[in-house]
Structure 1
Amino acid sequence: MWFILALLSAVFAALTSILAKVGIEGVSSNLATAIRTVVVLVMAWGMVFVTNAQGGITDISRRSWLFLILSGLATGASWLCYYKALQIGEASKVVPVDKLSVVITLALAFVFLHEKFTAKSLAGCVLIGAGTLLMAL
C-alpha cells in the first residue's frame, strides 16, 4: 500500500509543478505560495475532521511538536524557493533539481536516522544525481 500511495504522491507532485507553472504567470511567487498553502491547510484540516483525528492533538508530545514545527518551516522554505525557481526557470529543469531532495534525504536518513545505506542506495543516488545534471544543463 505504501508504494501505491508514494506513486500517487509522485503523480500529484508532477501535477503540482505543471499547474503551478501555469498559475504563477504574472503572480508574485510569494503570493502564489501563500495561496497554495491556504488550500493545503484547508484540505489537511478537512481530512483531520473527516477522519475524526482531531482528538489526538492533545496526545502529541513536546518533541513531536518541535519536529513537526521544524518540518513545517522546512516545507515553507522549500515551497518559497520552489515557486520562485519555477517562476523564473523552466519546469523541465527546475523539477529535476528539486528532486535532488531524494539524494539529500537518503544521506540525511543515513546520518541522523541510522538507516542503511547500501550499494543499491549509492547506485540510485549516483543515477539520480547524473540524471539531474543531464536534465538541468
Structure 2
Amino acid sequence: MDAISHLSSTATSNTCLAAALTAVGIPLATKPFVRIVGDGIRGERTLWFFEPQSHDGKFQTKELVEAWNDDAWHLAHPEHPFAYIKCALLNRQRLVDKVKQDVPLACVKRRGKIAFIPLDASPATEDLFLKYL
C-alpha cells in the first residue's frame, strides 16, 4: 500500500484521507482515481489523485498527506480542521468496530409482546425469555 501511495505526493490509497482532503476543500485531480489490481495487491486498490492545494490556497495537499499519520503534527495542531476531521473518522471507525464486537439481539414478537434475545443465548435462556411472551 505504501508503495502505491508514493506514486505521487498528492495521491493516496487511503479513502479516509481522501475524504478528509476533500472536506478541507482540496479538489480531486482531473483524473480523480485509478483502480489497481495485480502485482501483490490482494483484490483491488483505488488510488486517489488531488490538486496541489485547496481552492482558496489555504491548505497544501502534500503537507496534509504527510500530516495524516504524523502524531506529532496532530499534537502540535489540535485545533486544525484536518485534525478534527481525522479524529471524527477515527471515532467513526472505533464505533463501527465496537458494534461489530457486540452480539446482536433477535427481536421476537408474540401476542403483542416483544422480547430481545441475544443471538448467542443458550437454549435455556431463550426458553426463559419466550415463556413470558
Which structure features the higher share of helix residues? 1
Q: TM-score, normalised by structure 2?
A: 0.25
Which structure features the higher share of strand residues? 2
Q: TM-score, normalised by structure 1?
A: 0.24
Q: Give 1 or 2 for the bigger CA radius of gyration.
A: 2
Task: Identify the structure with bigger relative contact order (alpha carbons < 8 Å, sequence gap 6+).
Answer: 1
